Amino acid sequence: MAALTPTDTFTLGQVSALIDGSERPTKSPLNGGTLHSIRVAYTLTDAEATGDTLALCYLPKGALVHRALSYVETPDPGTGTLTIDIGTASNTDLYLDGLDVSTAGGTFLFSSSPSVPVAADLTPAALTTTDNTLVMLTCATASGSLAGTIYVTITYSIYN
């Protein structure tokens, strides 16, 4: 029989404890926790301007945002120009930087490339604050006639 090689999460001691029921599964902060998702809708009013911020939601302290599982859905926003950032008050583009939603609309990941995440995007972004954190959408550029509804889905893990 081939040898079983354990990973950081899976250990032979953990398996033994699970089999006899003496221990529940435990995982490191980057490999487990409870996965949550929140979806926020914002209807463009045609009054958005460069530098405007929208309060999307609060995330609980210690949440890790999974950028490769979080995304923005937009319709064609009209004839205007709209580029957005998503982050916190202290880092306005922590999760998403410079996404141009002015084209035909679509679904865009919170990643360096709107179509395919890179390795850094697969690492969850930790909230290191001691309290709940406000997540904001910032209009990096906004001009012209804007219409439609933007949907932001944020996927995060909580470890407790």
**Per-residue confidence (pLDDT) for residue 3, from 0 to 100:** 47
> Residue 94 in contact with residue 136, Cβ under 8 Å?
no
Which residues, other chains included, contact 120 with Cβ-Cβ below 8 Å and sequence gap of 6+?
A: 112
Q: What is the DSSP letter of 4?
A: P
For the entire predicted model, the pTM comes to 0.73
pLDDT under 70: residue ranges of the chain? 1-32, 77-78, 112-130, 160
**Per-residue confidence (pLDDT) for residue 6, from 0 to 100:** 52
**Per-residue confidence (pLDDT) for residue 116, from 0 to 100:** 54
> Residue 22 in contact with residue 103, Cβ under 8 Å?
no
**Per-residue confidence (pLDDT) for residue 11, from 0 to 100:** 52
**Per-residue confidence (pLDDT) for residue 147, from 0 to 100:** 81
- For 62, other C-beta atoms within 10 Å of its C-beta total 19
> Residue 90 in contact with residue 114, Cβ under 8 Å?
no
**Per-residue confidence (pLDDT) for residue 37, from 0 to 100:** 92
